[in-house]
Homo-oligomer: A and B are copies of this chain.
Amino acid sequence: MYKILCTTLAIIALSATLPLTAPAQTPSSSDAGAIAKQLQRYELTLNAADIDGIMELYAENAVFMPQHSLPVVGRDAVRSAYRHVFDTIKLNIRFEIDEVRPLSSDWAFARTRSTGTVKVLASDQAPIPEANQELFVLHREDDGQWRFVRYIFSTTNPPTQR
């Protein structure tokens, strides 16, 4: 993607509204709230570099799809990926939940945007602004908790250069 393209896409995105009228199937009325709480926990645990807390939010057989990486498949690999993240950077970000959509009694998706800063631990450089969009697919597991089955993010900032 290129700057001119991205700028126009951003304008298109900003000018759009959100007419989400398609009905969910058979979700409980409390599911959206329970999922929102999990997303809030993700924000807290990311900012705290709390790997165990983060892994409590991931389902069995999860796939984490961070930008600039091939998909990270399975809980062990996901844990290793976060460990390396927290060995390298310190995050200070806030999530805004754009939507939580229960699809059935056990499946849902959620869409968020996050903004804040990232600090490279091995550098004296000041924290750098970050802005991303995220899509989560969630499953309610046997213990009744909603957890991330698939999670992908990408930056919403324009590219620095090609």
B61 near A113: Cβ-Cβ < 8 Å: no
Q: Mark A92-136, 1 if CB is under 8 A from B, else 0.
A: 000000100001101101010100000010000000100001010
Report A100 CB to chain B, min CB distance, Å: 12
A60 touches B (CB below 8 Å) = yes
A21-48 contacts to B (CB < 8 Å): 21-22, 25
Q: List A residues at the B interface (Cβ < 8 Å).
A: 1-2, 4-6, 8-10, 12-22, 25, 59-61, 63, 65-74, 76-77, 80-81, 84-85, 88-89, 98, 103-104, 106-107, 109, 111, 113, 120, 128, 133, 135, 137, 139, 149-150, 152-162
Determine the chain B residues whose CB is within 8 A of the CB of A9 once the complex forms.
66, 68-70, 72, 81, 84-85
The CA of A59 and the CA of B21, in the complex, are separated in Å by: 12
The CA of A8 and the CA of B88, in the complex, are separated in Å by: 11
Report A96 CB to chain B, min CB distance, Å: 11
B6 near A106: Cβ-Cβ < 8 Å: no
A159 near B68: Cβ-Cβ < 8 Å: yes
The CA of A153 and the CA of B1, in the complex, are separated in Å by: 12
B161 near A160: Cβ-Cβ < 8 Å: yes
A12 near B77: Cβ-Cβ < 8 Å: yes
B77 near A13: Cβ-Cβ < 8 Å: yes
